[in-house]
Structure 1
Amino acid sequence: MPYPHRKALPPTMPLAIGSYEKLRDLSDASGLLNLAWTQDERQLLDADVMAVVARELTAEVAEELPYAGDYMVKDPYGEGALGPVVADFFGRPGWTASVTCGAGVGPLLHALSLLAAGGTVEVLTDVYPDYPHWVARAGGRTVPFGSGPPGDVLLLERPALADDRFAGLDAVRELAADAARRGALVLVDESNANYCPARFSAANLAGDLPNLIVVRGLSKAYGLGGVRLGYCVASAALTSAVRGAVAPLGASSLSLRIGRRILGLGDVTSGLRDGIARNKPYVRDLLAAAGVPEPVAAADGLPYVLFPRDPQAAVDSLASRGVQGKLQPVWSARTGALVPVGRLSVPLASHRLADLESRLANR
């Protein structure tokens, strides 16, 4: 039955996860090379992260499941479990930044949309549409940076898909200082920053900048999305605001155990970075030579080739060769609208790269 006392929620754009719904498959299959997402990264890491996960799970059983049975009411945001290892990961032991954990980057961004409830978010780079979606559901609005009155939150991705304006920490520091003068927060989605060295991260600035929030996870590069662990790094001054939005006990105790061990390995992505840097320009040239419309290499570090100008034609052209790319929806920082970008994940395993070469040559 209807509930007349409830207001209708505002219409909003779809979430990025919907871009997977129409994919033919989520793995390589007979007659299909799936390059809609990355599947072959872990073999290039400097450590066998799945073996590390297996050892932690074996130890958990041998120790009679202490984490699985621990309802962490005395560490509800996971700072005690993960905070010190996050500080060590960034080479900042004893820093004053706080760490707040949740069930992945997406859920953390969902919670942090409350920081702009009823207010305005200014977007500086193209971003996944999820945060603008949730801001609208919370009664706020999202606009391109500088297109109107100053916003309450400034949002950007690092590294952005194809925008290097904020690749340097000095640019982030300057942005945060300008935002602080008008009372705004800076929210940085660093989902993709695992493809970069730890020194790249804006988390290195969080202890010094009172209005900066950086969100990271274990999905990209590590391939551990199923662990469902993300974390926010922010100044101590922002801890109460962040935790006023993020639900406690969002990250499972067992996920925190695994995440602590993985981050304790330090930076293990140097080999992966080398593989991406080697293969990405080669794949872009292969695609251009095969006549796939206007391939563009994504920003430094990212394992993607993009098709921003005619994304549907590019994805269709790939599909005709048995190669699955995807249409990735992004919220455009230029137009303030949802736009599709064609995306192909660069194959890193030698046999998958050879498969792509063969498929593109046979047309």
Structure 2
Amino acid sequence: MAAAGTVGRLLREAGAGPVVWVASGDVAAWSAGLAAEGFQMVAAPDGADVVVVADTSWNDAPLFRRRRFLLSLHDRLSPAALLALVPAGWERPAGECGYEVIAIADGCVLARVVAAVAPDQAGEAYEGEGSLDLRWSPDEVDWLRPDPRGVWHEVTAVAETARAYALHDPYGGHRGAAVLSRHLGCPIDPGHVTFGAGVASLLRDLVALADGGTVLVGRYGFADVPGWVTQARSPVRVFDESAAWCEAIRRARPSLVIADRPTQRGVVHPVDQALAEASRLGAVVVIDEANANYLDPAQSAAWLTARHDNLVVVRGLSKGYCQGGLRVGYAIASAALSRRVRAAVPALQTSELALQVALRMLALPDPLAGLRARIAEMRPRTERALTAFGLQPDPGHPALPWLTAPATALDRLAERGVLAKRLRAADRSAPDLAKIAVPLSDERAAMLTDALTDAPTDRAAGPADALTDRAKTP
């Protein structure tokens, strides 16, 4: 069994802080031993840099009890805390419960949290108020032609539509394939399409494609994904999705990759080579194209599902279409994966009313063309305003209605009553980012200009701009 000296050495090598809480084991003996190594002992986890679990009774405990215990520690650890587990044998449950093992020596396992299980982590970024809310783009809807809101007038027999019970087509593929084929400009087989209750819901279900293996997730992807992976008892690894994917896939050797395209930082990767590398290693790749609505539909990776047998592309109608409340998303899978995708996603997940509205909107003749033109007009204006204010916005992709900047921009903008979204890095070693929506209406653009050129006021305490009462697009 590891001695306090071994644990102390590992902690120093890992750069751990000095405050230690012994959560389990002979508290007196371990406290004395680690105090002799120069660490400061505390009686509660609050503020602890290290949590030590050193109880030999765990040797005989079943695996599920170890998992339950490790998960219970998530809420008690600070984000940067390390976990020292003694004796050895904790490697597997630690990896399955959202921890990354960073060192093993002489019967001690040293780990850190990489994915905590918590409800709606993505939603936390939308708390708080300001005079101008640039965490979403409520003014996108003004630039859609024809206006998708007109689709609702077509669905007049709501009661009859809601009564329809499509047991013959529980995943919507037979009704949706032709529409998607025209929309994306490539042939889509009905059996390869799976509709679900929004992109987030589909991502949650598709975690099952890892079959317990390692899941490689993008650093600034959907915030809840790492926690879902942990709930599924799969190890989580994080990579910089704005950099080259192939090397990250080779290093992690995952069973499943989940990444945005385009990324939050505006990179649209060519994925052919990454798919081939993932296939060589036996990995499935799920590409989240929720933000791809702002690009030309022909730029979707959906057409590659006919070339690669390990690809799933997920899209929705929240971004651009301004229909987040509709809760409709769809997954297009390679032929070899279609049955596994449908096995992971509950049948009849999309209401008939929502599906019918979604298909009508997707059948419209490019209603987002006007929106793309408006973004191209207003984005440079926002970038100039932020730069003049002393921020350092990342150029990103010119078609996307937001810019990113270092997280220090969050407080500076908040001082002027402007709210930006915090993009939390999934790996603790990377910095958070600020995501700043481009004001598309003249009214909101003028509000931003005024906020950044006037002297700071108490606007941060005021209500968000009235436009946020409309349908919100995160």
Cα deviations across residues 165-224 of structure 1 (Å, max 9, x unaligned)? 61xxxx212211222222211110001000000111001222232111000000000110
* 2:316 pairs with 1:217: yes
Task: Please name the residue that 1:268 is paired with.
Answer: 367
Query: Which residue in the other structure is 1:150 paired with?
Result: 253
1:18 partnered with 2:123: yes
After superposition, give the CA deviation of every residue in 1:8-65 in whole Å (9 maximum; x if it has no partner): 243633544233453226xxxxxx1111111111111222011222x1332x24xxx3
Alpha-carbon distance in structure 2 between the residues aligned to 1:233 and 1:183: 19
* Mapped partners of 1:94, 1:295: distance in 2: 38
The answer to whether residue 407 in structure 2 is matched with residue 304 in structure 1 is no
> 1:82 is aligned with what amino acid?
G
Q: Secondary structure at the match of 2:253?
A: coil
TM-aligned CA distance change 1:120 to 1:193, over 3 Å: same
Q: Following TM superposition, by how much is the alpha carbon of 1:97 offset from its aligned partner in structure 2, in angstroms?
A: 6.7
1:357 to 449, 462, 467: 449
What is the distance in 1 between the residues matched to 2:294 and 2:341?
26
Alignment of 1:93-108 (within 5 A): 93=187, 95=189, 98-108=192-202
Asked if the contact 1:19/1:328 (under 8 Å) is kept, the reply is no
CA distance in 1, matches of 2:266, 2:419: 25
Whole-Å separation in 1 of the counterparts to 2:378 and 2:188: 39
Q: In 1, Cα distance between the equivalents of 2:450 and 2:144? A: 26
- RMSD (CA atoms): 2.3
* Structure 1 segments (4+ residues) deviating >3 Å: 4-7, 9-16, 93-97, 123-126, 146-149, 336-339
Inter-partner Cα distance in structure 2 for 1:177 and 1:163: 23
Summarize the alignment of residues 85-164 of structure 1 with structure 2, pairs less than 5 Å apart: 85-93=179-187, 95=189, 98-123=192-217, 126-143=220-237, 144=239, 145-146=248-249, 148-162=251-265, 164=267
The structure-2 alpha-carbon separation of the partners of 1:213 and 1:266, relative to structure 1 and needing over 3 Å to count, comes to farther
Q: What is the alpha-carbon distance in structure 2 between the residues aligned to residue 223 and residue 207 of structure 1?
A: 30
Would the aligned equivalents of 1:95 and 1:207 in 2 still touch at CA under 8 Å? no
Q: Does 1:324 align with 2:419?
A: yes
1:278-297 equivalence runs, <5 A: 278-291=377-390, 293-297=391-395
Q: Distance in 1 between matches of 2:412 and 2:236?
A: 34
Aligned-pair identity (%): 37
Q: Tell me the residue number matched to 1:277.
A: 376
Aligned to 1:205: 304
Q: Judging changes above 3 Å, is the alpha-carbon distance between structure 1 residues 82 and 146 closer, same or farther for their aligned structure 2 residues? A: closer
TM-score by length of 2: 0.67
Q: Is the contact between residue 229 and residue 235 of structure 2 (CA under 8 Å) also seen in structure 1?
A: yes
Corresponding residue pairs, total: 338
The CA deviation string for residues 241-275 of structure 1, in whole angstroms up to 9 with x for no partner, is: 10111111111111111011000114221221121
Q: Mark the CA change 1:266 to 1:186 in structure 2 (over 3 Å): closer, same or farther.
A: farther
Residue 321 and residue 206 in structure 1: after superposition, are their counterparts in 2 closer, same or farther (change >3 A)?
same
Unpaired stretches in structure 1, ≥5 consecutive residues? 26-31
Equivalences for residues 61-76 of structure 1 within 5 A: 61=158, 65-76=159-170
Letter in 1 for 2:415: S
List aligned pairs for 1:20-39, cutoff 5 A.
20-24=125-129, 32-39=131-138
* CA distance in structure 2 between the aligned counterparts of 1:238 and 1:362, rounded to whole angstroms: 55
8 Å CA contact retained: 2:267, 2:396 = no
- Structure 1 or 2, whichever has the larger Rg, is 2
SS for the counterpart of 2:313 is strand
Name the structure, 1 or 2, with higher relative contact order (CA <8 Å, separation 6+).
1
Structure 1 residue 303, shift from structure 2 partner: 0.9
**Counterpart contact for 2:313–2:332, Cα < 8 Å:** yes
- Aligned-partner SS, 1:129: coil
Q: How far apart are the structure 1 equivalents of 2:351 and 2:295?
A: 26
**Whole-Å Cα distance in 1 between the matches of residues 437 and 252 of structure 2?**
38
**TM-score if structure 1 supplies the norm length?**
0.86
Q: CA deviation at 1:71?
A: 2.1
**Is the contact made by 1:19 and 1:326 (CA closer than 8 Å) also made in structure 2?**
no
1:29 corresponds to which residue?
A: none
C-alpha contact (below 8 Å) 2:219/2:425 kept by paired residues: no
User: Residue 432 of structure 2: SS of its match in structure 1?
Assistant: strand
